[in-house]
Structure 1
Amino acid sequence: MFATILKSVLRQMRRHPLYVGLNIFGLALGIGVFLTLALLVRYEYSFNAALPNVDRLVRVDTRWAMPGTPPFEFAGSTFRVLPFLREDFPEIEAGIRLENTDLRTERDGTFSSFVSGLTDPAFFSVFGLKLLHGTPDQALARPDGLVLSAGAAIRLFGTTDVMGRMVPLNRDGVTVTHTVTGVLAHRTTPDFLSGIEMLAPFSSGDMTTRLCFLSWGSDCGSIYLKFRRPGDADAVNARLRDFVIRHAAGADSDSSALGLHPEKIFGLLLAKLGEARFNDFHVLYAEDGVDRTVINSIGLMGLLALALACANAVNLATARAGLRAREVAIRKTLGASRRVLFIQFTGEAMLAAAIAGVLGLALCEILVPEVASLTGEELVVRYGLVAVVLPLIVLVCGFASGIYPSMVLSGYRPAAVLAAARMPSGGRGAARLRDALVMGQFGIAITIVICMLVINRQTDFMRTADPGYVRSGLLIGSPMPGSDLAAQRRMLDALRAVPGVVTAGFGELAPRPNTKNFGTYSYDGLAGPIRVSLLQDVVSTGYFEVYRPRLLAGRGFDATRGQDDMPSRDEMQTRTANAILNARAVSRFGFASPDQAIGKIIRSDRRMARIVGVIDDERFESPRQAVYPEIAFFDTLAKQPFSEPIPAVRFQGGAESDMARRLNRAWAGILPDIASDFSAADARMAAYYSGDERRGRIFTLGAVAALLIACMGLYGLAAFAAARRVHEIGIRKTLGASGRQIVALLLGDFLRPVAVACLLACPVAWVVMRHWLAGFDERIALTPAHFLIAVAGAFAIAILTVLGQTFHLARAEPARALRAE
């Protein structure tokens, strides 16, 4: 039987190469796209899954509910909490603190940065990572210990055999020599630790002087816990509110505590690492989070591409079935049973699907590196998964594409077929099936195209939307460590002296995540006190000239006004500070307009502030996240320093890259032991929309594949119609129909299912994209333009697809067409 099936497939390839080629290539395209996107979805769902005992690992997150702002969760917690957790919960087997940082090596004045972490000696007890060299229990036990990844070891020394080597590391301008005590084994499984190149222990100075080790209201990293049993995390999670009340409460004068009722504003919760990939999408400052809905949509798109390919195969097979009617009739006359014919035709479909599967795997090999470059993920072809999935796909696709044509072909009656002048077409049922499949194909394709257009438009909007400050001609540097007043003054003078710099200034906030300082302020309104938690910034002279925020009311800071300079700590209780609010803060305090806020006094526990100006909201973080209500104070560097200020400059008359190099040299003249990286605001903000941008490209790939498969099906039907309707067109032209009328008739028949598909696709795409856009604080309007572009594009592609066959039919000579019948 196999030999018969093989001969029949080869014969069909010779006789009808167009149909067979469209069938196999369409299936191969669907299989290749499905395998590629399935590998991507598997990568996302397997994130962190390979960590040893991942079902017992959690991260301690913090939830804040500050007055006047919506509650938010962020991926981090105060390091002060760890010893209390160990003391109160015997369910915890081990726990560590981890601070993501950049450790640098210096050679000839050039800094090389490594993705690094500072942690506790029990790191390997929690995560169980394997070492190529070294002992996990001892690798971080010594204060100067250093664990390198295999890649970092080769980068530094050219080999992984580096135990005992000395590595001078620069951190915030201080160089400390570490000894290599371990080398991490290379890991191919995705997890949040896979990018780390260096691990070093916290120093004793860190734990005794840094605020995040001492205060409940400060943080600088994350805490990870390993429980003794998988169910312990849920039990402990339910008791964390009482834990906070016991340990975080204290008098207002206690700077390490959070007041008498900390549970009202502060909470801890345990985030399971096995579920963190998708849960972290809604957690602030969690760098590895992705939208589960987007990943599921990508997987669904791959499944739909496979379904489209199967539908395409069914469509072409049913259209072609009539061409084999006489073959079936003759074989039945010679004694072939319906069962034998059914097995043969199903086998032919299976063989075609197997050939398509091989081609699809080859296409997957080509697409996977491209998708990996688009997404930035370490995506590779996992043949263990492919070996399981591909045979199943071949069986399902072969059976799905062969079952209906096999039933139709094997059911032909020999006498009726041999007596007929024309080949059977399958009747109205087959025609309706073909139209329904075309509608389904184009409906899915148009839905994907609309989603792709909206995603790409939203990504473009995020990149180009007005952030509230002027981005062109703006370069922003790294935070200056420490609080050396003289060094800060020299730094501003050095930056302002660089040729091409118009002005320079300091701020404590800038694009991209950085240390944040919140304070709760109250205003005595008509309905009573209104309390709002404000993000606090301190800016220097030149700041407003550098960022150029829009002034909505009042005035900016003026160095000539002594009252604008921020009061010192000793003056806070006796002197009112002048401050500027952003529009979000004005709204939260209940002022009807920015003008109404000018001159009003707001109070916190430590200071009073008079509002002298209101600026428009400045977006320094993700477009998905609401802008914080913000208050800014003024510091002229006359009496007191900034706390880790971030320099920024406005320049003109030079290339951005050249100006960045000049500024970095000026920085090195003041702080030669600390690396600097002046970069544009757009580059610093790119991380917030790059993920959506990359996944938008995946949707573009899916949209192109879906349209191509749908057009192949439509082209096959047009070719089938060209073979079946020659006689009809000949009669119409004999009766006086013009070529234009024939073209309009045929295009109407071909495009009718496409039009119905558009009507079905638009509401589905509208619901899906409306839900997706709701996740952004700033977003585009879902206008009819996106739908009209997709519909017009679908019609244009459909017309171009069938136009050749339509003109061929319309130009047929009636006499020849009728004689051919």
Structure 2
Amino acid sequence: MLSTVTKSVLRQAYRHPLYVGLNVFGLALGIGVFLTLAQLVRFEYSFNTNFADADRIVRIDERWSEPGTTPYESADTTFRAIPFLKQDFPQIEEAIPLMGTTVRVEREGHFITFTGKMTDPAFFRIFPLPLLHENTGKSLTEPDSLILSKSAALSLFGTIDAIGKTVTINQSGEKSTHVVTGVLAAISGPGLLDGVEMILPIPPQMKEKRSCFLFWGSSCSKVFLKLKNKKDINALRDGLPNFVERRASGGADDRISLGPHPEKVYALSAILLRDLHFHDATVQDADDGVNQNVVDSIGLIGLLALLLACANTVNLATARAGMRAREVALRKTLGASRSALFTQFMGEALLISLIAGVVGMAVCEVLVPIMASMTGDAIHVDYGFILWALPLIIIGCGLASGVYPALVLSGYQPATILAATRMPSGGRRAAMLRNALVAGQFSIAVCIVICTLAIDQQTRFLRTADRGYVKSGLLVGQQMETEDIGLQRRMFDMLRGVPGVTSIAFGELEPDPHSQTRTNFAYNSPGGAVEAQLLQDRISPGYRETYRPRVLAGRWFDSAHGQDDSPLPGESANTTQNVILNEKAVRAYGFSSPAEAIGKVLHMDKTQYEIIGVISDIRFGSPRETVPPEILTFSTLTHRGFDNPVPAVRFKDVPRSVMAERFNRAWRTLRPDIASNFVPADELMEPYYAGDERRGHLFTMGAVAALFIACLGLYGLAAFAAARRFHEIGIRKTLGATAPQIIRLLVHDFLRPVLLACLIACPVAWVLMRQWLSEFDERIALNPAYFLIGISGAIIIAVLTVLGQTLRLAQVEPARALRAEG
């Protein structure tokens, strides 16, 4: 039977190379796209699954619902909760803080930057990472211990045998010497610790001074727990509300607690480690979250591409069935049974699927590196996955594409076929099936095209949307990592004196802010006290000229007004300080307009804050998150400095690279211990936009593949129609039909399923895109132009696909058409 099937396929390829070629190439493309996108989906779903006991490790998140603000969840949590969690929940085996940090090591006058984590010695009891070398029992137990990755050890010492070697590191300008006590083996699979090159213990002095170790509501970074049993997650979640109510409560003037009823504004939640990757898509201060629906949609596109390819094969096989009718009739006359014929035709379908599978694997090997460059993820061809997936795909595609054509072919009656003057076309039912398959293929393709257009426009909109400040001609530096007001003044003056500078400003926030201070401010409105949590930023002279925010009401800060300047912390009680709010804060306090807020007074502790101005919202964070209510205070650098200020500089008439080098050179004269990096604001915000853009490229790739596969099927049907309707066109032309009339008739017949597909695709695409766009704080409207472009494009491509066959058929000579055998 195998020999018969092989010979039959080779004979069909020789006699009808177009049909066999379309079958193999279309199915191979579908298999290749499916395998490529399936590996991306596997990669995204594999985050954090490589850790032992991943189903017992949880992260504790904070949830805030302050009055006047949009409720939000933060991955950063107060470390003060850690000892109380261990006391109150017997289900907890270990609990640790885990802080991200940037570590710099100076070599020959240059800084080598490493990505690090600071934590407690219990880290390895929660995350039992393999070590290539270890000073047994002392991995993180000493304050000066240091764990290196294999790559960091090679970079620093040229060998992985680094135990006992010393490294002088620089963290935010503070130098310390550490002894290497372990070298990490490579971590398999993507996850929480991707790219970590150094692990250090948290210094004891940090635990004594940092507010996130001391106060509720103040956070530095992540808290991880390991439970004794994976079922304990439910008990932990059930007990957290009561835990917050008991442990975080205190008196109204208690600075450590969150007041008498913390549960009204604050909550803790527990998220399993394996769920973090998708959960973090909507969480603030998270590292690598991605929307699960987007990943599933990418996987669905791969599956649809495979289904489209199978539908193509069914369509072409049923269209060609009539060409093999006499072969079937003769074989049945000579004694072949229907089951034998069915087996042969199924064997042919499986063999074609096998050939397409091999070609599809080659397509996958080409597409995976392209996809990896699009997404920026370390995705490679996983031959282990292909080894078990490809045979299943080949068998599935062979069965899906071969069963119906085999039933049709093996069911022909010899007497009817041999008595007929023309080959059977399959009748109305077969024609309806072919049209339905074409409509299904194009509806999927058009839907993907419309979604791709909307995604592309949304990502473009986010790039160009007004962020409340002028991006061009602006460079933003890094935190100075000092509270020394004298050093801050000297840096301010030095950067201002760089040639090409038009203005300079300090602020405590920056585009892509890594740390934020939020504080509750109250306003005694006529209807009662209104309290809102405001994001705080202290700014210097020159801020308006540098960032160029829009003032909507009132005035800007002025050094001539004494109350504009921030007092020292100990001098702020019983004083009034002038502040500026953003639009969101104005709405949070219930003012009907920015002008109404001018002159009103807010309260925080014993200090009053008079509103002197209102500016438009400034977006320094993710476009998916709402802009928080914000309050600006002012410092002239006369007697109060900044908490780790971030310099921003506006320049003109000088190339950006030249200005960046000038700033870096000036920076090194005052802060040689901290590497400087002045970059455009867009570069700092890049992580917020790059992910959606990369996934948009994948949708584009899927749309092109789906449309191409659908066109292959339509082209095959056009070729079949040209053969089947040869006589009909000859008769029509004999009766006076012109070539343009014939073209219109044929194109109309081919476009009917395409038009039906457009009607089906539009509402589906509208629902999908409306749901996706709802995740963004700022978004485009679903413009009808996207749908018209998608529909018009599909129709034009469909017409071009069939036009060659249609023109050839319309120009046929009637006499030759009537003489031709059907």
- Give the conservation status (yes or no) of the 8 Å contact 1:60–1:222: yes
Mark the CA change 1:174 to 1:275 in structure 2 (over 3 Å): closer, same or farther.
same
For the pair 1:178 / 2:174, whether they are aligned, the reply is no
- In 2, the alpha carbon distance for the partners of 1:523 and 1:75 equals 29
CA contact (8 A) 1:322 1:425 kept: yes
**2:577 matched to 1:577?**
yes
Aligned to 2:407: 407
* 1:202 is the counterpart of 2:186: no
Give the Cα–Cα distance (whole angstroms) in 1 for the partners of residues 249 and 755 of structure 2: 66
Cα distance, 1:52 vs. partner? Answer: 0.5
Q: C-alpha distance in 1, partners of 2:435/2:523?
A: 67
Give the secondary-structure state (helix, strand or coil) at the position aligned to 1:238. helix
SS at match of 2:692: helix
Unaligned runs of 5+ in 1: none
Partner Cα distance (1:113, 1:320) in 2: 64
Partner of 2:242: 242
Q: Is the 8 A contact 2:70 2:626 kept in 1?
A: no
State the distance in 2 between where 1:217 and 1:603 align.
19
Partner of 1:665: 665
Rounded to whole Å, the distance in 1 between the matches of 2:658 and 2:375 is: 30
Q: Deviations over 1:151-204 (max 9, x none)?
A: 222222333222222221111112212222111111231111122111111112
Is the CA contact 1:145–1:201 (under 8 Å) kept in the aligned structure 2? yes
Which segment drifts farther, 505-514 or 484-493? 505-514
Counterpart Cα distance in 1 of 2:159 and 2:780:
51
Amino acid at match of 1:755: L
Task: Please give the per-residue CA displacement for 1:545-569, whole angstroms capped at 9, x wherever unaligned.
Answer: 1000011111111112222112333
The 10-residue stretch of structure 1 (592-601 or 789-798) with the greater mean CA deviation from structure 2 = 592-601
Deviation at 1:265, TM superposition (A): 2.0
Counting only pairs closer than 5 Å after superposition, residues 347-496 of structure 1 correspond to structure 2 as 347-496=347-496
Q: C-alpha distance in 1, partners of 2:151/2:256?
A: 41
Q: Which residue pairs with 2:700 in the alignment?
A: 700
Residue 153 of structure 2 corresponds to 153
Shift of 1:640: 1.0
Which residue of the partner structure matches residue 232 of structure 1? 232
Task: Give the aligned residue type for 1:247.
Answer: R
Kept in 1, the 8 Å contact 2:567–2:640? The answer is no
TM-superposed deviation, 1:6: 0.2
Preserved contact between residue 169 and residue 175 of structure 2 (Cα < 8 Å): yes
Please tell me whether the aligned partners of residues 451 and 769 of structure 2 are also in contact (alpha carbons under 8 angstroms). yes
Amino acid at match of 1:322: G
Partners of 1:438 and 1:560 lie apart in 2 by 74
Q: Name the TM-score, length of structure 1 as normaliser.
A: 0.98
The RMSD of aligned alpha carbons is 1.3
CA distance in 2 between counterparts of 1:504 and 1:302 reads 50
5+ long unaligned stretches in structure 2: none
Partner of 2:691: 691
Q: How many residues align?
A: 821
Matched, 1:9 2:6: no
In structure 1, C-alpha distance between the alignment counterparts of 2:333 and 2:376, rounded to whole Å = 61
CA-to-aligned-CA distance 1:431-468 (integer Å, 9 cap, x gap)? 11100000000000011111111111111111111101
Deviates more, 1:157-166 or 1:631-640: 157-166
Q: Which amino acid aligns with 1:307?
A: L
How far is 1:757 from its partner? 0.1
Matches within 5 A, 1:43-122: 43-122=43-122
Give 1:648 shift: 0.4
Q: Matched residues in 2 for 1:173 and 1:571: separation?
A: 29
Q: C-alpha deviations, 1:69-110, integer Å up to 9, x for none? A: 122111021112212222222221112111001001112332
1:670-819 alignment runs, 5 A limit: 670-819=670-819
Q: Where do residues 322-337 of structure 1 align in structure 2 (5 Å cutoff)?
A: 322-337=322-337
- The CA distance in 2 between the partners of 1:155 and 1:813, in whole Å, is 77
- Within 5 Å, which residues of 2 pair with 1:222-301? 222-301=222-301
Paired with 2:194 and 2:137, the residues of 1 have a C-alpha distance of 20
SS in 2 for 1:239: helix
Q: Which amino acid aligns with 1:39?
A: Q
- 1:586 partnered with 2:593: no
Comparing 616-625 and 175-184, the one that deviates more: 175-184
C-alpha displacement of 1:241: 2.2
Shift of 1:137: 4.1
Residue 772 of structure 1 and its aligned partner are, at CA, apart by 0.6
| Cα separation, 1, equivalents of 2:124 and 2:659 | 44
Does residue 602 of structure 1 match 2:602?
yes
The 1-side partners of 2:566 and 2:57 are apart by: 46
Shift of 1:408: 1.1
Instruction: Encode CA deviations 1:290-314: one digit per residue, 9 max, x unaligned.
Output: 1111111111111111100000000
Task: Verify the 8 A CA contact 2:129 2:187 in the aligned structure 1.
Answer: no
Deviations 1:1-42 (A, max 9, x none): 000000000001111111001001111111111111111111
Aligned residue identity for 1:339: S
2:496, 2:108 → 1: CA distance? Answer: 26
Q: For residue 415 of structure 1, report the CA deviation from its aligned partner.
A: 2.1
Whole-angstrom CA distance in 2 between matches of 1:372 and 1:792: 32
Q: Given that residues 135 and 163 in structure 2 are in contact (C-alpha distance below 8 angstroms), is that contact kept between their aligned partners in structure 1?
A: no
Give CA-to-partner distance per residue, 1:198-243, whole Å, 9 cap, x none.
1111112111122221122211111111111111122022112222
Distance 2:447 2:606 in 1: 56
* Residues in 2 aligned to 1:742 and 1:373: alpha-carbon distance in whole angstroms: 48
- Whichever residue aligns with residue 510 of structure 1, its letter is E
2:193 counterpart letter in structure 1: L
Match of 2:561 in 1: 561
Distance 2:591 2:64 in 1: 25
Secondary structure of 2:391's partner? helix
The amino acid across from 2:651 in the alignment is: F
Counterparts in 2 of 1:809 and 1:297: CA distance versus 1, 3 Å? same
- Given that residues 574 and 606 in structure 2 are in contact (C-alpha distance below 8 angstroms), is that contact kept between their aligned partners in structure 1? no
Q: Which amino acid aligns with 2:713?
A: G
Q: CA offsets per residue over residues 673-707 of structure 1, 9 Å max, x none?
A: 01221111111111112111111111111101100
State the 1:358 CA deviation.
1.0
Q: CA deviation at 1:135?
A: 5.2
**Which region of structure 1 is more displaced relative to structure 2, 757-766 or 155-164?**
155-164
**Counterpart Cα distance in 1 of 2:264 and 2:606:** 20
Write the distance in 2 (CA, Å) between the matches of 1:180 and 1:135.
8
Cα deviation for residue 522 of structure 1 reads: 2.2
Partners in 1 of 2:706 and 2:803 — Cα distance?
A: 20
Distance 1:164 1:130 in 2: 18
CA distance in 1, matches of 2:656, 2:18: 55
* Cα pair distance change 1:65/1:137, threshold 3 Å: farther
Q: Distance in 2 between matches of 1:142 and 1:247?
A: 31
Separation in 2, partners of 1:136, 1:644 = 39
| Identical columns (%) | 58
Q: Is the 8 A contact 2:59 2:222 kept in 1?
A: yes
CA drift of 1:810 comes to: 0.8
d(CA) in 1 for partners of 2:759 and 2:137? Answer: 64
Q: Distance in 2 between matches of 1:619 and 1:35?
A: 39
Q: Is the 8 A contact 1:67 1:520 kept in 2?
A: no
Partner secondary structure for residue 602 of structure 1? strand
1:579–1:612 Cα contact (<8 Å) kept? yes
In 2, the alpha carbon distance for the partners of 1:85 and 1:136 equals: 29
CA distance in 2, matches of 1:148, 1:693: 34
Deviations 1:728-759 (A, max 9, x none): 11111111111111111111011110000000
Structure 1 residue 672: deviation in Å?
Answer: 0.8
How far apart, CA to CA, are the structure 2 residues paired with 1:271 and 1:643? 32
CA–CA distance in structure 2, aligned partners of residues 755 and 289 of structure 1: 39
TM-score scaled to structure 2, two decimals? 0.98
Q: Please give the secondary structure, in 2, of the residue aligned with 1:380.
A: coil
Structure 1 runs of 4+ with >6 Å offset? none
Aligned CA distance change for structure 1 residues 354 and 172 (closer, same or farther; 3 Å): same
Give the distance between the partners of 1:55 and 1:137, measured in 2 at CA.
26
Distance 2:533 2:210 in 1: 24
